[in-house]
Amino acid sequence: MDTILQALRGAIESQDADRVEKALGQAFAAGLSPILVPTLIELLGFPWHTRHEDVARALQELKSPAAVPALKRAATTIHPYLNYDEFFGLARKCTWALADIGTLEAKTALQELSEASNPLVAGYAKKRIDNWTQEMGRKGA
């Protein structure tokens, strides 16, 4: 996992989108590790790559409460390369990740997102809140 962490750090330092894609592929193939969380959080905030949805999915799988603020920000960040996506898939993935993290802070972030000016983003967040009890029961929380 140290090799993957080094690959992600190198991609960030060089701002190389291709290296980000390759390192994320390696991380998923090897199995995600909590050691990657701080770097993934950092990566989610950078506008120069095109793998934000993959980063959100990784953070969803890792379920780290530390990712809540970054996921909330990413849910409302507009990336020009996603202009084709009229359904705001990144925002949807971020709300799923917040729901899977399942902490009070994550629920609060979803409640704040449910008031977003974008009705799709607000709707995704509201759905996760509306299903909160059911989803927490399913996860054994």
**pLDDT (0 to 100) of residue 1:** 77
Distance CA 125, CA 59 (A): 17
DSSP annotation of 64: -
pLDDT at 137 over 60: no
Tens of pLDDT along 100-127?
A: 999 999 999 999 999 999 999 999 999 9
Contact criterion met (CB below 8 Å) for 51 and 90: no
pLDDT given at position 42: 98
CATH of the domain at 21: 1.25.10.10
Tell me if the pTM is above 0.75: yes
Domain hosting 115: range is: 2-138
Give me the number of domains the chain comprises: 1
